[in-house]
Amino acid sequence: MNRTAPYSVRLLGLDPGLQHTGWGLVESAGSRLRHLGDGVISTDADQPLAARLCLLHRALSALLEQWQPDEAAVEHTYVNKNPGAALKLGQARGVVLLAPALAGIPVAEYQAMEVKRAVVGTGHAEKPQVEAMVRRLLPGAVIRRADAADALAVAICHAHHRGSRLALARGYVPA
């Protein structure tokens, strides 16, 4: 895949879920963002859990091979009141974290409020506000699913925060 600028980075945002995992890929070059792709990986609820997790891993691995992102970012999941649902979501999240890590891709994690604040300006934004801002920040992007919009929001959040994370990782201490 060709890059717009030699110093650009490809950032893959992931919104984990067992039923639907959203993904969104942006190219970040300085303060400029470009939409490269997005979609949803869906699993069949009638299949055994192990088969669903395997499908999720294979689909993510194929996605990583196709797009070759430089970094990945995953949204922390909302803890559901239903313990069974929370456990299944946690297992899917484990696969979502594992796939890029196995490919040698650095993985960052962000709280939902952090993603909303980075994209909309407030951590208490509603989903439609987030999706509208994603469309504004990525002109020309045709986003068909809310899960994909959420994943693009995670990628945008990472684009905004990655400079600070890199500086801290290198030992930068503010004066």
Any domain includes 4: no
Q: What burial class does residue 21 get, using C-beta atoms within 10 Å of its C-beta: 0-12 exposed, 13-18 middle, 19+ buried?
A: buried
Q: How far is it, in rounded angstroms, from Cα 163 to Cα 167?
A: 6
| Containing structural domain, residue 120 | 9-169
- Please say if 147 is a catalytic residue: yes
Q: Which residues are annotated as a binding site?
A: 15, 75, 147
- Among candidate residues 27, 75, 131, 150, the one labeled active-site is 75
Among candidate residues 4, 26, 126, the one with its CA nearest the CA of residue 71? 26
Is the separation of the CB atoms in 75 and 150 below 8 Å?
yes
pTM metric for this prediction: 0.90
User: For residue range 96-153, what is the model confidence (pLDDT) as tens digits?
Assistant: 999 999 999 999 999 999 999 999 999 999 999 999 999 999 998 999 999 999 999 9
Q: Does residue 127 form part of some domain?
A: yes
pLDDT of residue 174: 58
Inter-residue contact 69 to 11 (CB < 8 Å): yes
Question: Exactly one of 27, 38, 71, 147 is catalytic; which is it?
Answer: 147
Q: Which residue has the higher pLDDT, 154 or 2?
A: 154
Name the pLDDT band for 168 (thresholds 50, 70, 90): very low
d(CA 11, CA 71): 5
Binding-site residues for Mg(2+) sit at 15, 75, 147
Residue 175 lies in a domain: no
Domain tally, the chain: 1
Is residue 55 one of the residues assigned to a domain?
yes
β-strand partners of 42: 20
CATH assignment of the domain containing 94: 3.30.420.10
In 3-state terms, what secondary structure has residue 32?
strand
Kindly name the residue from 15, 38, 71, 150 that is annotated as catalytic.
15
Distance (Å, whole) CA 35 – CA 38: 8
Strand, helix or coil for residue 160? helix
